């Protein structure tokens, strides 16, 4: 799920930040069940990448309450979009905070907000940060595979 957050910088300039919203604590069993439904099992190479992509998804009920919550926040707009099938070699946004050099402050934990009342935890990461970190992650992995 993605959302747009409109903001004003300290200098008064307005901007729009796009974020990817994911479930950091989706149970492993739930991820395995979702992946099994599309023929992906834990024995498959790249299992952790598939799991991270799964954590970037929501059930329809979850998505509806999450979109309503996000749209109730000032200057934030969100919308639902059907999730695609997980793809080999892709890292989900939920995997980025697990990287050893990842700075904790880059993730926004919506579940810590006053008034947050959803039954599941939600975090967000800036799309630009996600793209940069996945490219870096893939470069490191390619270098290690080449050895």
pLDDT tens track for 71-100: 888 778 888 888 889 999 888 998 888 776
For the chain, what is the domain count? Answer: 1
- Each residue's pLDDT tens digit, 24-79: 999 999 999 999 999 999 999 999 999 999 999 999 999 999 999 988 887 788 88
Is 144 a residue whose pLDDT tops 70?
Answer: no
Q: How far is CA 12 from CA 17, 81, 131, in A?
A: 15, 32, 27
Q: Establish how many alpha carbons lie within 13 A of residue 145's alpha carbon, considering only the half-sphere containing its beta carbon.
A: 6
Instruction: Give the C-alpha separation, 112 to 8, whole Å.
Output: 22
Specify the higher pLDDT residue, 117 or 75. 117
Mean pLDDT for the stretch of residues 133-138: 77
- The owner of tokens 């979009």 is 81
Instruction: Give the C-alpha separation, 21 to 23, whole Å.
Output: 7
Separation of first and last alpha carbons in the chain: 36
Segments forming the whole domain that contains residue 68: 2-145
Is 101 a residue whose pLDDT tops 70?
Answer: no
**pLDDT, position 146:** 54
């Amino acid at each position: 799920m993605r959302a747009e957050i409109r903001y004003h910088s300290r200098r008064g300039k307005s901007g729009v930040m796009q974020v990817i919203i994911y479930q950091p604590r989706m149970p492993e069993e739930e991820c395995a069940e979702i992946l099994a439904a599309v023929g992906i099992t834990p024995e498959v190479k790249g299992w952790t990448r598939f799991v991270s992509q799964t954590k970037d998804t929501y059930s329809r009920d979850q998505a509806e309450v999450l979109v309503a919550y996000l749209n109730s926040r000032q200057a934030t707009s969100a919308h639902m979009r059907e999730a695609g099938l997980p793809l080999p070699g892709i890292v989900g946004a939920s995997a980025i905070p697990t990287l050893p050099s990842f700075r904790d402050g880059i993730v926004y934990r919506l579940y810590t907000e006053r008034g947050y009342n959803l039954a599941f935890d939600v975090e967000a990461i800036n799309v630009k940060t996600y793209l940069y970190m996945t490219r870096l992650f893939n470069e490191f992995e390619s270098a290690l595979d080449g050895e």
